[in-house]
Structure 1
């Protein structure tokens, strides 16, 4: 049995956090003991983790405010739990874990980045100077690994590509679509686009709204559902009104029924300026949804252009709308074939059991002796 401590910036409904929860479930099924440390107060997944028996601790930090006391709080938790592996995710947790290692013994420290860009040159400099304090850095897309090496963020011999994984059984199941139709006021025959993600600048939702405005000139009854919350919500509502498309765009806030929404939608759309390797694209693939996404980060690795979806240049609303219209002009049989290929692709490459096996191999390669 391995004792695995995951460290995260926070616990909310986002891709990295979702992945850690799935890894906890996978490692528990194999007889290991995971725990999670959240730098700030956790806000999501607590019921699910409680049912699994995964302990969740917090360092009591305030978002956006550095607190050196967190180093010593984390040191105390490490001393109490005595992990065989410390595995941090996202830049703040990665740097904190490395610095804390100066004050407490950690048999192995692995740091995972989840994006091509984690915040600019200052953070990349911190990665460089603290690199000797960890055994390995990983990233969730091959493109991100390539860029990290090219920018000398991490030495080539100390970084690996390990993709996110997904529990396929949660997606692609028949759902009660009539209930969603009634709730959302969507009639049979309306083409439904779905986007899921935080309402933040890097997701470039204004680009999506511009593209959808052009789509509506050809398909005035189509609908865009956006599930998620964030600081951009009010601005996006205002922009929808300015574009005159507010009746066709629904900002749904946080939803607990993403699998049902994906089963209900006809296609998925993403307009991000940059990405790591989005979990949501794996979820859409597992749901059999054809996709139109911007060609950034690991999106090209998740979506096979022309086979499981279509790629568009980031920041180009004209091309994004053209790709959306191309997909909408496809026959039902063509859309279903895209969806089937997407589900097959994600099953072969990104099933969570495959990813847990990869992580187990990495942990064991470090010459671990459980209980050290």
Structure 2
């Protein structure tokens, strides 16, 4: 029975963390022992992980503050747990794991990036300098892998594309759930757009709201549901008032029933400035929703133009609105067909069972050559 240690920058309600929780569940089902360490105090998924018998620890770091003592805290935890594999996720955890390997034996270290953009020149330089201390870097989209090679954040022979995976059974569209949410939120009978994600600058909800203001000029009964929390909520609510669209936009906060929320929607919209491979696009596709998204990162690896959705340039409300209006002009049967095409594609390409089998081959060192001891 292999012992896997996941090291994360934090444990919050976000795409990378969601993916790690899914990996924990799938690995536990395969009788792996799984341990998880969060650099900062965890704030999400705790009960769910404990139910899986995943041990959770924290390094008690503070966001935005470098603390070299964390290296030695992590070293002690590694010595106590003696993992066969350490799998770190996101830039801060990746760098910490690499530096800690200088002080403690780690049989195999895998570092996963979840975005095409994890920071500027300094972080890319740190990735390059610490690369000798990891066995393999992965990223969640091919576009991101290509970018990391281009900027020399990782050498071509030590970085591979490993997409996120999704449990298809957790996202099955339910008319009953959809009607229940429609009544709960008093949404009426108009077209419903759904969006989910942290209310942060990189998600560029400002562009989404400006695009939706244009949509409302032609479809005044439509609604936009936004699930998530973040530092920009107040500013975004104020923008809704400035744009005079506040009655048509619902900020729902954290929702533990995203699959039900997907069931009420007619289509999904994403306006990010940059991405890796967004879990939420996989969830929307698994829920049989057609998608409008910005053409950044790995989005075009999920959204196939004209088949299950449309792509718009980032930061351009007018183009995003054109794509949304194009989607809304379709008949219900065409929307359903686009949704089916998206679900079938995601099931073939991103099913969590297939993805975990690929991770197992890496953990078993069948696909890579580990560092010399």
TM-score range, shorter-chain basis? over 0.9
Aligned partners of 2:346, 2:3: CA distance in 1, in Å? 29
Question: Which residue in the other structure is 2:145 paired with?
Answer: 145
Deviations 1:29-56 (Å, cap 9, x if unpaired)?
A: 1111111100001011111111110001
Q: CA deviation at 1:368?
A: 9.7
Verify the 8 A CA contact 1:84 1:107 in the aligned structure 2. Answer: yes
Structure 1 stretches of 4+ moved >3 Å:
366-369
User: Quick check: 83-92 or 165-174, which moved more?
Assistant: 165-174
Verify the 8 A CA contact 2:225 2:249 in the aligned structure 1. Answer: yes
Aligned partners of 1:77, 1:303: CA distance in 2, in Å? 41
Aligned partners of 1:250, 1:264: CA distance in 2, in Å? 13
Aligned partners of 1:79, 1:15: CA distance in 2, in Å? 30
Measured at CA, do residues 277 and 94 of structure 1 come closer, stay the same or move farther in structure 2, by a change above 3 Å?
same
CA RMSD of aligned residues (A): 1.3
Question: Which residue in the other structure is 1:61 paired with?
Answer: 61
Counterparts of 1:325-364 in structure 2 under 5 Å? Answer: 325-364=325-364
Verify the 8 A CA contact 2:266 2:289 in the aligned structure 1. Answer: yes
Aligned partners of 2:77, 2:280: CA distance in 1, in Å? 32
Question: Which residue in the other structure is 1:293 paired with?
Answer: 293
Question: Which residue in the other structure is 2:221 paired with?
Answer: 221
Aligned partners of 2:365, 2:111: CA distance in 1, in Å? 15
Aligned partners of 1:65, 1:185: CA distance in 2, in Å? 44
Aligned partners of 2:221, 2:15: CA distance in 1, in Å? 31
Aligned partners of 1:178, 1:132: CA distance in 2, in Å? 54
Counterparts of 1:232-243 in structure 2 under 5 Å? Answer: 232-243=232-243
Counterparts of 1:190-209 in structure 2 under 5 Å? Answer: 190-209=190-209
- Alignment of 1:45 onto 2:9: no
The normalised TM-score by structure 1 is: 0.97
Deviations 1:212-257 (Å, cap 9, x if unpaired)?
A: 0000000001000110000010000000100000000111111111
Verify the 8 A CA contact 1:141 1:161 in the aligned structure 2. Answer: yes
Aligned partners of 1:179, 1:161: CA distance in 2, in Å? 39
Q: CA deviation at 1:316?
A: 1.1
Verify the 8 A CA contact 2:179 2:264 in the aligned structure 1. Answer: no
Aligned partners of 1:29, 1:292: CA distance in 2, in Å? 35
Q: CA deviation at 1:319?
A: 0.8
Counterparts of 1:1-372 in structure 2 under 5 Å? Answer: 1-174=1-174, 175-187=176-188, 189-365=189-365
Q: CA deviation at 1:181?
A: 1.9
Aligned partners of 1:273, 1:176: CA distance in 2, in Å? 31
Deviations 1:9-66 (Å, cap 9, x if unpaired)?
A: 1111111111111101111111111111000010111111111100011001111111
Q: Residue 311 of structure 1: SS of its match in structure 2?
A: strand
Q: Residue 247 of structure 1: SS of its match in structure 2?
A: helix
Deviations 1:72-119 (Å, cap 9, x if unpaired)?
A: 110011001100000000000000000111111000101000000001
Q: CA deviation at 1:160?
A: 0.3
Verify the 8 A CA contact 1:84 1:368 in the aligned structure 2. Answer: no
Q: CA deviation at 1:176?
A: 2.7
Aligned partners of 1:35, 1:101: CA distance in 2, in Å? 17
Deviations 1:199-218 (Å, cap 9, x if unpaired)?
A: 00011111001100000000
Aligned partners of 1:152, 1:274: CA distance in 2, in Å? 19
Aligned partners of 1:38, 1:161: CA distance in 2, in Å? 24
Verify the 8 A CA contact 2:173 2:288 in the aligned structure 1. Answer: no
Aligned partners of 2:12, 2:171: CA distance in 1, in Å? 20
Report how many aligned residue pairs link the two structures. 369
Structure 1 gaps of 5+ residues are: none
Verify the 8 A CA contact 2:173 2:262 in the aligned structure 1. Answer: no
Aligned partners of 2:25, 2:35: CA distance in 1, in Å? 11
Aligned partners of 1:302, 1:38: CA distance in 2, in Å? 29
Verify the 8 A CA contact 2:116 2:275 in the aligned structure 1. Answer: yes
Q: CA deviation at 1:350?
A: 0.4
Q: CA deviation at 1:365?
A: 2.3
Q: Residue 314 of structure 1: SS of its match in structure 2?
A: coil
